């Protein structure tokens, strides 16, 4: 579903007003967040997604890709790097191949073992199996350890995720960029990164009701954590499902990307880098929502 650029999408409690606050997060090759909220329940994720490719007749599928593997309790996104278009290469093919291989790997791991899926192993195998495809992409893969209630993640580039509890963001993954708008990227080319470059994250002691928002840079460049917090408030009141929540957040990011007067995360990062940019950034937008629930068995 596309939206008009002259008004924000309607949802629950009405329009979302901008504010520029965001949750705190650390930096480094391995990040862990432990919460004083231990639960005795086994946990599981229910998921939904929305993908809004930017308008491009030559690339109707866009350059983003994602997957949801419920059996493996694993989700992922990839953002193809648009610079390949200058060489006549569709980076979306690389991103789609990477996510297809990631889903297959996660599924195979689950079928062969009861242990939690290791997202780094998934990324390693997906990268190796995608070696014959030209292009490059960012990637972020998350997996839930149901027994421990722990979220494990790996990330390469400027995709990422946030975790919300009681309508507040308490964790946001950091991004990897060599310079402004130049993310780390997996690819089979000179200068491409390998999976070893991925940052690892661990969020311990999740609890029922937590909401995970995973997205490509098209989401993160156009929406603040505080805006998603406001959306989640409306979501909790309206009782919408994950698919509908993903759709609303994606469409709000789309609206922001088309607004030349909106102060966006991308604009703020541009200013920090000494670049001039006003408004949002038009891009493919992928959102995957995962809600944490207590298992009944």
Q: Could you tell me the CATH superfamily of domain 43-294?
A: PPM-type phosphatase domain (3.60.40.10)
pLDDT band with cut points at 50, 70 and 90 for residue 39 = low
Q: Map out the domains of the chain as residue ranges.
A: 43-294
Counts of helices then strands in the chain (DSSP H, E): 6, 14
Tokens representing 238 are 């309206």
Burial of 133 (C-beta count, 10 Å sphere; 0-12/13-18/19+): buried
Q: Quote the DSSP letter at residue 243.
A: H
Q: Which pTM was predicted?
A: 0.89
pLDDT tens per residue, range 200-243: 999 999 999 999 999 999 999 999 999 999 999 998 877 789 99
pLDDT tens per residue, range 176-191: 999 999 999 999 887 8
Is the pLDDT confidence value at 4 over 70?
no
């Amino acid at each position: 579903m596309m939206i008009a650029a002259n008004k924000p999408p309607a949802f629950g409690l009405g329009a979302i007003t901008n504010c520029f606050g965001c949750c705190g997060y650390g930096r480094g090759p391995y990040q862990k967040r432990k919460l004083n909220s231990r639960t005795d329940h086994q946990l599981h994720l229910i998921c939904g997604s929305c993908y809004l490719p930017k308008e491009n007749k030559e690339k109707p599928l866009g350059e983003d890709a994602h997957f949801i593997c419920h059996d493996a309790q694993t989700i992922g996104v990839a953002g193809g790097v648009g610079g390949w278009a200058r060489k006549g290469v569709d980076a979306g093919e690389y991103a789609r191949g990477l996510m297809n291989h990631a889903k297959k790997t996660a599924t195979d791991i689950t079928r062969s073992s009861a242990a939690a899926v290791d997202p780094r192993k998934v990324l390693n195998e997906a990268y190796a199996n995608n070696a014959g495809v030209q292009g490059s992409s960012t990637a972020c893969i998350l997996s839930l350890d149901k027994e421990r209630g722990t979220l494990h993640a790996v990330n390469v580039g400027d995709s990422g995720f946030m975790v919300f509890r009681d309508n507040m963001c308490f964790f946001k993954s950091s991004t990897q960029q060599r310079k402004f708008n130049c993310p780390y990227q997996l690819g089979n080319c000179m200068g491409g990164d390998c999976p070893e470059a991925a940052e690892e994250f661990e969020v311990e002691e999740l609890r029922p009701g937590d909401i995970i928002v995973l997205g490509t840079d098209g989401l993160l460049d156009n929406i603040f954590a505080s805006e998603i917090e406001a959306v989640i408030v409306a979501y909790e009141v309206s009782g919408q499902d994950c698919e509908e929540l993903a759709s609303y957040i994606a469409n709000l990011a789309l609206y922001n990307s088309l607004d030349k007067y909106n102060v966006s995360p991308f604009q703020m990062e541009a200013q920090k880098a000494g670049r001039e940019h006003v408004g949002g950034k038009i891009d493919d937008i992928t959102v995957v929502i995962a809600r944490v629930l207590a298992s009944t068995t």
